[in-house]
Amino acid sequence: MPQHVVVIGGGIVGVSTGIWLRRQGIAVTVIDRLGWGKGTSHGNGGVLAACAMVPVTGPGLLTKAPGMLLNLDYPLFLKWGYLPKLTPWLLKYLGNANDADMQRIADGVAPIVTDAVDQHLSLSKNTRATSWVVESLYSYAYASRAAFDADAYSWAIRVRHGFEPTLREGDEARAFEPNFGPEVGFFATMGNHGYITDPGGYVAALGAEFEALGGTTVVADVKDVVLTDGAVSAVDTDQGRFACTELVLATGAWSKPLMKKLGIDVPLETERGYHIVFKNAQGGPSHPVMIASGKFVATPMAEGLRCAGIVEFGGLDAAPSKAPFDLLRRQTKAAFPNLTWDDEIEWQGHRPAPSDSLPLIGQIRNTGVYAGFGHHHIGLTGGPKTGRILAQLISGQRPNLDLTPYAPTRFA
């Protein structure tokens, strides 16, 4: 049959892959069970975090983790009944909590994120989505210089990859962001960043561009992948069978069962993330800020101030928990004591977390199936670059990047 690519997943990776393939004239069908930008690509913090190559698994995490779980003011939660199922993944994950692996992971993540703003602008150029992309500063907010200095290990990695912060404290810090309360007295600020003012609307607008380019969109639930003589030939859904010559799995935290069919048991978990949108908020930050003490980002968006963060382990099926929302509210109030708003919107979703904190990008053996998932906290940031790489691979081009760190078969 003529070349026809099916992409499973209507988030930022899926739509980016579809657009770059259509710009090369390749037939593409994108299948998603909800439609464009309804999942994690909607619910993220919105930051184009070009400096986000530092993984969570820093040296010493193993000894710190129990205290984090028992601290009611720390943004780490666990549904304890899920612990037996989580343990095999968790042991692999904590096995990377050392200097050598942290540096290796950072070096692997950096090429996917450091040019994020340029990648988003290139993807959205001359489309209705471009108005949602804002170039901006990105700051980390600390209580004091001492708190910043305690984070020196992570900053050394960012600096090594080209992100030297401008430091402000005291009166200069208060003049820079006057809406912060007294618990914040120090800012480390970087340029060459950006944010999306409406992530869900942005992905939906990109989806409309994909369709305007001649791409096909199907809302359906994928049931199975059909292999013929070891190569993909079709996808079965609740809306019927769709033949294809190549298949892209841009399925995020839901990728594990489909990978198992291909003989690869990916150590993949969901990091359940939370956000609250304070609608029509006044008294927040002027640009995206990571409040270091609470490990959450506050981003001014079209609808209001979105405060997003929290890590909770509890699987894909459990209902949202109340405690993470309560913690986000407490942290937001402490950071912005004069914040006012009209209403609140709560959201909980799923970040796809491989045990080694590196995404899976590339073809799985010679099956014609390509992985494009596992971006942990950098899905929105790295989605356009990932989609571009996948489109290059599928069209027979050679990306100007060593793809070894992202090999899907590294878990085979």
Write out pLDDT tens, residues 120-161: 999 999 999 999 999 999 999 999 999 999 999 999 999 999
Report the alpha-carbon distance of residue 224 to residue 349 in Å, rounded. 24
Specify the pLDDT at position 253.
96
Specify the pLDDT at position 115.
98
Question: Going by C-beta distance under 8 Å and a sequence separation of 6 or more, which residues neighbour residue 160?
Answer: none
User: What would be the CATH architecture of the domain defined by 4-411?
Assistant: 3-Layer(bba) Sandwich (3.50)
Specify the pLDDT at position 171.
96
Specify the pLDDT at position 60.
86
* Residue in 351, 309, 300 with CA at minimum distance from that of residue 330: 309
Specify the pLDDT at position 13.
98
Specify the pLDDT at position 359.
98
Report the alpha-carbon distance of residue 165 to residue 162 in Å, rounded. 10
Specify the pLDDT at position 1.
81
Distance from CA of residue 15 to its chain's centroid?
Answer: 14
Written as six digits, the tokens of 23 are 């710009």
Q: Is the pTM of this model over 0.85?
A: yes
* Residue in 201, 192, 191, 193 with CA at minimum distance from that of residue 132: 201
Specify the pLDDT at position 62.
80
* Residue in 84, 94, 89, 74 with CA at minimum distance from that of residue 311: 74
pLDDT in tens, 346-355: 999 999 999 9
Question: How does pLDDT run along the chain (412 residues), one tens digit per residue?
Answer: 899 999 999 999 999 999 999 999 999 999 999 999 998 999 999 999 999 999 999 888 888 888 888 787 889 999 999 999 999 999 999 999 999 999 999 999 999 999 999 999 999 999 999 999 999 999 999 999 999 999 999 999 999 999 999 999 999 999 999 999 999 999 999 999 999 999 999 999 999 999 999 999 999 999 999 999 999 999 999 999 999 999 999 999 999 999 998 899 999 999 999 999 999 999 999 999 999 988 999 999 999 999 999 999 999 999 999 999 999 999 999 999 999 999 999 999 999 999 999 999 999 999 999 999 999 999 999 999 999 999 999 999 999 999 999 999 999 8
* Residue in 277, 285, 330 with CA at minimum distance from that of residue 307: 277
Kindly list the domain boundaries of the chain, sorted by start residue.
4-411
